[in-house]
A and B are shown apart, each in its own frame.
Chain A
Amino acid sequence: EDQVTQSPEALRLQEGESSSLNCSYTVSGLRGLFWYRQDPGKGPEFLFTLYSAGEEKEKERLKATLTKKESFLHITAPKPEDSATYLCAVQDIRDDKIIFGKGTRLHILP
């Protein structure tokens, strides 16, 4: 059975304090791993798709990396507007099902 586990559940950082969020996954065959951002009261917003181990993608202060068992979302010098819940998901190549983790709530203090 496909599984996605995110850690930590919540993270509080000072503005400018870099850190990483973890997403470990189990899937029979990986079609793709996604990272989304979700603000309170809104639907998730797409950030990245990663396809194979060793792949990296960047967008502003965010960089996502992928290994065969986990993905990291690195946040460099975060700002208060980066505060949100970050969700990881995997798509199974066998049945195209997309399964999400429970998310990491990130709070950046000014």
Chain B
Amino acid sequence: NAGVTQTPKFQVLKTGQSMTLQCAQDMNHEYMSWYRQDPGMGLRLIHYSVGAGITDQGEVPNGYNVSRSTTEDFPLRLLSAAPSQTSVYFCASSYSQDRLAPEQFFGPGTRLTVL
């Protein structure tokens, strides 16, 4: 199993450009999420999904779009990049089970710089 994979590892964008951060998992997990991590701010939830076809907003969703057409993939789209979106982005996944809170498996992260 590859676990949770993220591409690219590094990316530099200019203000106003758009791009998609890719996230895939091969563990058949229903639950997937995107976080951004900035110095001193911890992990902040952007969007999450409890299953294919279902997405919901997290703490900081503005400027980001997601979709979940398959169980395996959960791409994060930046429609018009801004310098405030410079951050490290982590994707995570876990299985879902009633009354339990399973661990999330995290990808290695994408380091994004917006000039």
- Spell out A's residues near B (CB within 8 Å): 6, 31-34, 41-46, 49, 51, 87, 89, 91, 95-103
List B65-89 residues whose CB lies under 8 Å from chain A.
none
Known: A43-B90, A96-B31, A100-B43. A49 touches B101 (CB 8 A): yes
Chain B residue at smallest Cβ distance from A42: B108
Instruction: Look across to chain B and name the residue whose beta carbon is closest to the beta carbon of A90.
Output: B101
Q: What is the total number of residues of chain B having a CB less than 8 Å from a CB of chain A?
A: 29
A34 to B104, CA, bound (A): 9
B interface residue numbers (CB < 8 A to A)? 4, 31, 33, 35, 40-45, 48, 50, 56, 58-59, 90, 92, 96, 99-109
Nearest-CB residue, chain B, relative to A47: B103
Closest to A85 in B: B42
**B101 and A34: CB pair below 8 A?**
yes
Q: Using CB atoms, name the residue of chain A closest to B56.
A: A95
In the assembled complex, which residues on chain B have CB atoms less than 8 Å from the CB atom of A34?
Answer: 101, 103-104
Most buried by A among B33, B101, B108: B101
